[in-house]
Structure 1
């Protein structure tokens, strides 16, 4: 049985530790800081400079932190986001109620319901939250993703390679490459040399960026435009 334990990270926000996989869902140095740095700053804001309509594929819904912070950023910048997330092992709704993201993020009162709604809504059905955010979550394994040439961004937030190595190997990374439009990007907290070599082998160009607190580097991979 996979026991999950909520704990407080260094920025006061919660993460969850999985006994089965031996890893936490977010960095102990700050869950919100990590999401802000890796996914919001290095991906969403990077793309939003060029276009206001953005399609995001998230690999690993987990606690829902990446999704709710993306929603808040979309409202703040008046973006139009289609957000599709994939999760094979969802956390329980009871655990969702104990996560403190709403209070730590100073959630606007009119948005207080959104975080739980992301967890409570039906799987495999689109949900229009508002004009800024359409949400779709798939109860599936990462390997089952078959969409091609559709997304602008992949949030690759799988557990670390030493915990789930097959999720970081070429067959799945090829699926991620195929899922992106030309000039689409994949971002991940992981900066291991082997992972970067795998990303290059399937066609990505690699940018090594400064990492979030507790990590020296992170990775942004770009799908080149076809000549």
Structure 2
């Protein structure tokens, strides 16, 4: 699948997929969008002291990277699970230039080149927990999110790739406190925006858990409500979409 690198309005880059006529991030600002929707409206809104996060669509790793930085700044221990069916090569990610070669990241135990940590996000093994910093542990799972199933309260994956097919899926650390829902747009990949999937994600979230997504379409809001979520419309990122959605699994819901 052909992929083209394009600059967005805030100076950060994104990827464009001609086959889908779709970008990985908002052309109004890739980094601005991710920071606003998933960090400001998601992670910072969570009351959990040690959030377990599930990302639907690991993609370029930008959401994971911003979460790692926030983990070290806040001191909250975060376990991050990223689901991705089509992993990107590091050689492609490197060209996006999200991290400068001289940028340093200060953690609780040392200072190290940020580019090395960002590379580890993409080159660490799939299907295993990898502690990248004192406050951030990553697990990447190469699978089709539509094959997620909940059986007896546990997460299963039907016909998963070899990297996870023999793994006990309880290691996905459900229930989660946060879901970053960052799939391609509904009109581009309608199979990623189904009632069945939102029902599954509702079950995987702990009570009080949050799901955030850039898509504020009425049909998506109604599916989230049908799944059991309490849904609110929030202002979108500066210079970007007018509204986004934040859904909560509130007490005494189904």
Same fold (TM over 0.5): yes
CA contact (8 A) 2:207 2:250 kept: yes
Which residue matches 1:215? 241
Partners of 1:120 and 1:196 in 2: how far apart? Answer: 35
Is structure 2 residue 96 aligned with structure 1 residue 99? Answer: yes
Is structure 2 residue 127 aligned with structure 1 residue 119? Answer: no
TM-score normalised by the chain length of structure 2: 0.84
Which residue matches 2:188? 163
Once the 2 structures are TM-superposed, how far is the Cα of residue 52 of structure 1 from its aligned partner?
A: 2.1
Partners of 1:106 and 1:192 in 2: how far apart? Answer: 38
Which residue matches 1:54? 51
Is structure 2 residue 109 aligned with structure 1 residue 83? Answer: no
Larger radius of gyration: 2
Once the 2 structures are TM-superposed, how far is the Cα of residue 106 of structure 1 from its aligned partner?
A: 4.9
Which residue among 195, 198, 204 is the counterpart of 2:220? 195
Partners of 2:141 and 2:66 in 1: how far apart? Answer: 19
Partners of 2:210 and 2:121 in 1: how far apart? Answer: 24
Partners of 1:104 and 1:200 in 2: how far apart? Answer: 44
Number of positions where the alignment pairs a residue of Structure 1 with one of Structure 2: 224
- Runs (4+) off by over 3 Å: 104-107, 146-149
Is structure 2 residue 70 aligned with structure 1 residue 73? Answer: yes
Uncovered stretches (5+) of structure 1, i.e. residues with no partner: none
Is structure 2 residue 136 aligned with structure 1 residue 133? Answer: yes
Once the 2 structures are TM-superposed, how far is the Cα of residue 42 of structure 1 from its aligned partner?
A: 0.2
